[in-house]
Structure 1
């Protein structure tokens, strides 16, 4: 079974990897050829440097080395990708779809034909170098699902007819089979409890940090973690139909279907290249008739023009900006898996947040306490601490963080699922439990319970001899950065949504505290993915922020998935951005910097095109030769690189 899982993982990864890196104009050619292209590039660079040191007496050898350098350094980018992708994409689209790679190849050939071998090599070295840098900056995001597969239960304890148990493969289980689940076990498959009581950590399914108490008749889900109790369950779904299997299917499906927005350059690159090729041909053919040039002069001017319009600066327009932004964000604790995702972040129209561990701290805290006037609070706190010390429930941790005992009491505690904690001290019986486990209470407690519960809080009563003497409210409260983060996105006109597996009451309480626009509660993982589709259709570019396995389908399906760094490995793996310190203020910084990056890229593009337009004019007027064109080109390339590097120097 493990080998099957690994095989499936490889197949799924291969499929999604090939798809995710196709460009918007159908760049289906797979770029990953290992280290060979980079090695060839550096071999070409070395040959070019050697050629530069040769003197004029060795002109033939020098030009030969320059030509070899251009061919070797540009083989992968210009020949394989330029010509290969042009042919492949043209076949798919059933029309001519060139890219800038082929244009650079023609420019280099043109420069060589008129004797400027060094300029031809320089063009190839700059363009190929920019291309490899951009591929490096993209980071080759790998949305693997290996961690999900590891979390998928593989074995179960099947109860046989003679009352024994045997370990079987989960894939062989049938509806109606009875299984034994021991304390600490992973629940192997979806089913219903037929005997026993326990508390189960269902965070992998619903994101809720507080384990759910379960007893006979309650549903349990595969991949969730059983607490201290043991129980017998009956299988209600086949393995392929479980909630967790649906998470796996959704992540796979969304990975294979997602199409990340292409970079600004990629969007109009084919049109620009086609226009340039047509313009050069027209200049060479028509110039002798329009300007009375000789044919040789017309060909020369056409080649000079081809060099002039080659997108050197344009190729570098995004690279320095995206590399600088990626580096700057990494220093701030935000990891980007590709510059295209940073462009997406700048353009978001809506952002959805998971609740537990994303907007909230992920652990409940005691928010309210009330005791009867007749109660000695110090003594009652000592008793509460003594009872809770014997519990492993997350609420116990929260209560122990809130209260410190003045006197350490030794109380024998009975932990009853459904009733709570019970213990005796000085002849009195004390109990801490949920309100529903008490038959009658005074009006003041009922009123406070109703009020606190309406605020999304979990309420527990404290009783002496079954008479309620006080109550406490606990809640997973918003983290320190949540309010400022929501305020920022609302100021930017970005729609905010809270998507949670919690009750509507709890979700609404958190949303009201933070000022979130919309609350969608009681959702399962497959619902989250569907909701993201609805948000994309309704608002436009949509981001999703989450930290759990249950968020994975939505994180993959969103235009940009953002994971909290302390979240599950699965969430981190399938996301496009990772906030390493679980600090939402870093998300605000990332949005600001990505917006600035987009502005810088547009500045670079406009500047590059202005330079090209200037060179076209002076070339047609005969005021520039190929050397001047190359010098101005490289100067403009340096300018856009320096402009992009400004993004390294933004404030913290």
Structure 2
């Protein structure tokens, strides 16, 4: 680890698994820094990141500060390295201690109820086992409780410790041991739930291929580490293997399982020039691919980095729970003290009875279930979305889709495929469709213009054979001319008609019809007549119409198109897709202004785009959503959510997923507080006990965790 300033210090913190621990760490670390913003906590990974840019403290000072909280810090290592280097005790200490605590209670109970059944008081030997059970259950808790007490900032560790000590002071040894055991079991359950969510996300790491088959210029193939492969290298991918790096196919064809990256349920056919992603799985064919990105820049690598940092970006519900707990716990301590002293002093109550009730209140009021319920739900939601090919870049963005009222969309590459396609082939002058397309293909065979590529692709898809025209000449602003089988032909825009005096009523009628539909028009002709007309347009994605309908069905009030394209084309696409409002011929700054207007009108607005020109609008919206597969790096980096399959049908799913997440979070908070309120009432009237209170708290923790983990299901 580099100890120099102006760097990011990354620590693995053992024992940090709850917002209570985060609060303790903040109390120690923030005074050493300029602001709380220099700290990032990843509960999922047990990772603490500290911006050391403007502090005089050293990494050793930071580690020492963590130690003062009762937790342990060490320089960050990835999960696999940490597991390999950790001893059995380090990996399973909480499980071992909890099991030991439970066994000691069992032995103590047998001694008390069987061996010394007639004894009026708890036998000394049984007390020894109960005491051992208490120490086993609280050994990891007591340092945190002591730190909380010395800082005069009570937390759940202090609540439980006081309850256990108080129970022992009044001779309730069995109940003291039971509370310690069940609290330890609750923390173990909490740790397990975080671990399960962590494994769901870290499974992405297992997608990274370990070997790449690199083909050299002489044709030999050798196995290398994908991290050493340079951009532009040629790789062989055999049947059933994972694709090592992002690239495109230069030879072969196969069906690729892209579900790990895009969430698509069915394999996708890939052939020459098609893009492929690292981590996806080749089908039966042998593929030769040319790499386009280094290992650290692949789509898979970006997903792993984004997901790795996502859980440290906390949702509003998590922040609310943390603030609530910081107020709630001191209030509980004060209430318990009032229950202890007021009845005996004012109403001649028994001190022992009201001390017991105060201890019960401390146990049931422990906010453990409350504080763990939200982060588990949020992390499960992030993992589930990643499985579906929807990359949400942090807990802070999980809840936003639930409150969206309007959605703005770019046209090209978002609503449409982003590539023109031949829509109409209208032969004239005695030619048929095949002849017209062959002539157009020959004239455009060597052009890289998008319209030219679309014409050639259409001709080839119909099985037409043609050679490039001879004597090709470009006519600026109008088109091209060339010789085909000894005869001169031209191909160009409607402006070509003006210079060749070939305009007629029939041609003009077709042109007006196509232009009203927003299509680009290309004519082919000779010096004497027009051979025919081709119309081209960027086509609406297959899933767009249903996605727009579904967005309206889930409650999105207004769907708007924001495009730099001309109004005619925009209106045609909007009419086909079911868009409510169109803004065309926009520059990037115009898109930002349009989004600002929508935000002012509707409040919560999402912007969806794929290009560099969409990035400013993505940043200005309430929720920026990028088309991840075909989108530019700028759009993907600045967006809050990326659709890795470019599938717009994921949008209504995202809205419903967000609402389901919010619903589960609210269920957990309401259930946790409801159970506590019920037991507070029962405690005040003397109808509860220590073991029942901790059992209820642990049961509540289990139920809210299980409820949150439901989000991992498909």
Pairwise TM-score range, normalised by the shorter structure: 0.5 to 0.7
Given the two structures, how large is their TM-score scaled by the length of structure 2?
Answer: 0.61
- What are the residue-to-residue correspondences of 1:26-37 with 2, within 5 Å? 28=37, 29-31=39-41, 32-33=47-48, 36=73
Q: What SS is found at the alignment partner of 2:417?
A: coil
Which whole-Å CA distance do the structure 2 matches of 1:83 and 1:548 have between them?
Answer: 55
How far did 1:308 drift? 0.9
User: Deviations along 1:398-419, whole A, 9 cap, x unmatched?
Assistant: 1123223644245223345423
Q: What SS is found at the alignment partner of 1:392?
A: coil
Structure 1 position 432 matched with structure 2 position 495: no
Which whole-Å CA distance do the structure 1 matches of 2:93 and 2:590 have between them?
Answer: 53
CA contact (8 A) 1:545 1:564 kept: yes
Residues 590 and 386 (structure 1), Cα distance of their counterparts in 2 relative to 1, 3 Å cut: same
How far did 1:488 drift? 1.4
How far did 1:571 drift? 2.5
2:544 aligns with 482
CA contact (8 A) 1:314 1:604 kept: yes
User: Deviations along 1:214-239, whole A, 9 cap, x unmatched?
Assistant: xxxxxxxxxxxxxxxxxxxxxxxxxx
1:604 pairs with one of 655, 668, 674: 668
Residues 354 and 482 (structure 1), Cα distance of their counterparts in 2 relative to 1, 3 Å cut: same
How far did 1:361 drift? 1.0
Which whole-Å CA distance do the structure 2 matches of 1:329 and 1:314 have between them?
Answer: 24
1:106 aligns with 158
Which whole-Å CA distance do the structure 1 matches of 2:458 and 2:623 have between them?
Answer: 38
Residues 33 and 645 (structure 1), Cα distance of their counterparts in 2 relative to 1, 3 Å cut: closer
Residues 318 and 506 (structure 1), Cα distance of their counterparts in 2 relative to 1, 3 Å cut: same
How far did 1:629 drift? 0.5
CA contact (8 A) 1:111 1:117 kept: no
CA contact (8 A) 2:159 2:333 kept: no
How far did 1:365 drift? 0.8
2:357 pairs with one of 288, 292, 301: 301
How far did 1:486 drift? 0.8
Which whole-Å CA distance do the structure 2 matches of 1:66 and 1:260 have between them?
Answer: 32
2:179 aligns with 119
Residues 48 and 610 (structure 1), Cα distance of their counterparts in 2 relative to 1, 3 Å cut: same
1:525 aligns with 588
1:392 pairs with one of 448, 471, 475: 448
Q: How many residues align?
A: 498
Most deviating of 315-324 and 565-574: 315-324
Q: What SS is found at the alignment partner of 1:624?
A: coil
1:469 aligns with 531
Which whole-Å CA distance do the structure 2 matches of 1:118 and 1:33 have between them?
Answer: 33
Residues 366 and 113 (structure 1), Cα distance of their counterparts in 2 relative to 1, 3 Å cut: same
Residues 308 and 61 (structure 1), Cα distance of their counterparts in 2 relative to 1, 3 Å cut: closer
1:509 aligns with 572
- What are the residue-to-residue correspondences of 1:349-428 with 2, within 5 Å? 349-403=405-459, 404=462, 406-412=464-470, 413-428=472-487
Structure 1 position 551 matched with structure 2 position 614: yes
Which whole-Å CA distance do the structure 2 matches of 1:123 and 1:542 have between them?
Answer: 44
Which whole-Å CA distance do the structure 2 matches of 1:465 and 1:293 have between them?
Answer: 113
Which whole-Å CA distance do the structure 2 matches of 1:71 and 1:528 have between them?
Answer: 57
User: Deviations along 1:226-276, whole A, 9 cap, x unmatched?
Assistant: xxxxxxxxxxxxxxxxxxxxxxxxxxxxxxxx9974446457555645654
How far did 1:631 drift? 0.5
1:129 aligns with 191
Residues 575 and 122 (structure 1), Cα distance of their counterparts in 2 relative to 1, 3 Å cut: farther
Q: What SS is found at the alignment partner of 2:48?
A: coil
Given the two structures, how large is their TM-score scaled by the length of structure 1?
Answer: 0.66
CA contact (8 A) 2:519 2:536 kept: yes
1:443 aligns with 505
1:452 aligns with 514
Residues 486 and 620 (structure 1), Cα distance of their counterparts in 2 relative to 1, 3 Å cut: same
Residue segments in structure 2 that go unaligned for 5+ positions in a row: 9-18, 24-34, 42-46, 50-71, 75-81, 109-127, 169-175, 203-312
CA contact (8 A) 1:111 1:120 kept: no
How far did 1:65 drift? 4.3
Structure 1 position 640 matched with structure 2 position 704: yes
How far did 1:546 drift? 1.8
Most deviating of 259-268 and 617-626: 259-268
Q: What SS is found at the alignment partner of 2:443?
A: helix
Residues 137 and 552 (structure 1), Cα distance of their counterparts in 2 relative to 1, 3 Å cut: farther
How far did 1:299 drift? 4.1
CA contact (8 A) 1:104 1:124 kept: no
CA contact (8 A) 1:107 1:120 kept: no
CA contact (8 A) 1:336 1:576 kept: yes
Q: What SS is found at the alignment partner of 1:362?
A: strand
- What are the residue-to-residue correspondences of 1:143-182 with 2, within 5 Å? none
CA contact (8 A) 2:608 2:624 kept: yes
CA contact (8 A) 1:44 1:70 kept: no
Which whole-Å CA distance do the structure 2 matches of 1:290 and 1:358 have between them?
Answer: 72
- What are the residue-to-residue correspondences of 1:91-102 with 2, within 5 Å? 102=154
Most deviating of 617-626 and 573-582: 573-582
Q: Which has the higher contact order (CA 8 A, sep 6+)?
A: 1
Residue segments in structure 1 that go unaligned for 5+ positions in a row: 1-6, 12-20, 88-97, 141-257
CA contact (8 A) 2:625 2:640 kept: yes
Structure 1 position 67 matched with structure 2 position 146: no
Most deviating of 62-71 and 494-503: 62-71
Which whole-Å CA distance do the structure 2 matches of 1:537 and 1:36 have between them?
Answer: 46
Which whole-Å CA distance do the structure 1 matches of 2:183 and 2:425 have between them?
Answer: 73
Which whole-Å CA distance do the structure 2 matches of 1:58 and 1:629 have between them?
Answer: 22
Q: What SS is found at the alignment partner of 2:539?
A: coil
Which whole-Å CA distance do the structure 1 matches of 2:579 and 2:184 have between them?
Answer: 51
1:499 pairs with one of 546, 557, 562: 562
How far did 1:456 drift? 2.3
Q: What SS is found at the alignment partner of 1:623?
A: coil
1:342 pairs with one of 398, 417, 420: 398
CA contact (8 A) 2:628 2:643 kept: yes
1:220 aligns with none
CA contact (8 A) 1:428 1:465 kept: no
Which whole-Å CA distance do the structure 2 matches of 1:287 and 1:130 have between them?
Answer: 41
Q: What SS is found at the alignment partner of 1:36?
A: strand
Residues 506 and 266 (structure 1), Cα distance of their counterparts in 2 relative to 1, 3 Å cut: farther
